């Protein structure tokens, strides 16, 4: 059993981007783990499949990869142990992971940025934010030694779906706090996020 509210509170969420150009969903969490261990967990295909999904491809800058049952992309930058930047699902959909060593462990920051035209509106951050929250949850449990054995089954469990409901609400609050989307845009994005992440 996971403490859903504690896990939700462990993640900071922010809506960013360039007005009229891009929208980004930023997630941030501190893990009580060494930066080298966190880096290895997010870049080693053998470890990735234990908390995220199987990933295949050419693991080098310029190489292409495929996440099983999900997006493909290209590795744009890889600076061990602090920066990984990839395209994800579309050449203009960019995911950047930044790691920073601190006394408390490792700060993990993930930013997923897309053109506003691709997202539909700034509220499009809700189409990806809750999914990345689920990934941060999975990584945290894995680093704590609580490996599920089957990340796909774990992602579809009633407990994780409940986590996703709370995540959608947290992203809705972040979006509303940004002041960058209308109430109509927010309502439509919340409805779409619920259908995708918490059916």
DSSP assignment of 183-199 equals HHHHHHHHHHHHHHH--
CA of 101: how far to CAs of 37, 145, 157, in Å? 11, 20, 32
pLDDT for the residue numbered 56 = 97
- Beta-carbon contacts of 160 under 8 Å, excluding residues fewer than 6 positions away, are 134, 137, 154
For residue 70, how many C-alpha atoms fall within 13 Å in the half-sphere facing its CB? 16
pLDDT at 150 over 90: no
Q: From the CB of residue 184, how many other CB atoms can be counted at a distance below 10 Å?
A: 10
Residue 106 pairs in a beta bridge with 31, 101
What pLDDT, in 10s, does the model give residues 122-146? Answer: 999 999 999 999 999 999 999 999 8
Q: Compute the distance between CA of residue 152 and CA of residue 127 in angstroms, rounded to an integer.
A: 19
Q: Compute the distance between CA of residue 160 and CA of residue 164 in angstroms, rounded to an integer.
A: 6
What pLDDT, in 10s, does the model give residues 95-109? Answer: 999 999 999 999 999
Q: Compute the distance between CA of residue 117 and CA of residue 132 in angstroms, rounded to an integer.
A: 21
- Superfamily classification of domain 5-197: START domain (3.30.530.20)
Residue 161: closest CA among 128, 125, 133:
133
* Confidence band of 197 (pLDDT split at 50, 70, 90): very high
- pTM for the model stands at 0.94
Q: Where are the domains of the chain?
A: 5-197
Asked whether 80 and 39 are in contact (CB, 8 A), the reply is: yes
Residue 84: closest CA among 31, 117, 48, 137:
48
* Confidence band of 29 (pLDDT split at 50, 70, 90): very high
Q: With DSSP H G I counted as helix, E B as strand and the rest as coil, what are the percentages for the chain, rounded to 5?
A: 45, 30, 30
Asked whether 99 and 87 are in contact (CB, 8 A), the reply is: no
């Amino acid at each position: 059993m996971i403490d859903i509210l504690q896990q939700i509170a462990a993640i900071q969420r922010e809506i960013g981007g360039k007005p009229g150009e891009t929208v980004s969903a930023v997630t941030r969490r501190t893990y009580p783990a060494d930066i080298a261990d966190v880096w290895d967990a997010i870049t080693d295909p053998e470890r990735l499949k234990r908390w995220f999904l199987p990933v295949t491809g050419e693991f080098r800058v310029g190489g292409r990869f495929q996440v099983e049952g999900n997006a493909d992309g290209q590795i744009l930058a890889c600076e061990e142990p602090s920066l990984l930047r990839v395209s994800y699902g579309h050449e203009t959909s960019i995911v950047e992971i930044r790691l920073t060593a601190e006394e408390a462990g490792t700060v993990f920051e993930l930013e997923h940025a897309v053109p506003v035209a691709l997202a539909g509106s700034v509220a499009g951050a809700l189409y990806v934010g809750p999914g990345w929250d689920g990934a941060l949850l999975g990584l945290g449990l894995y680093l704590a030694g609580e490996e599920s054995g089957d990340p796909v089954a774990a992602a579809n469990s009633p407990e994780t779906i409940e986590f996703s409901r709370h995540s959608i609400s947290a992203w809705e609050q972040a979006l509303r706090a940004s002041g960058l989307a209308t109430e109509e845009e927010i309502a439509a994005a919340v409805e779409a996020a619920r259908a995708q992440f918490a059916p």
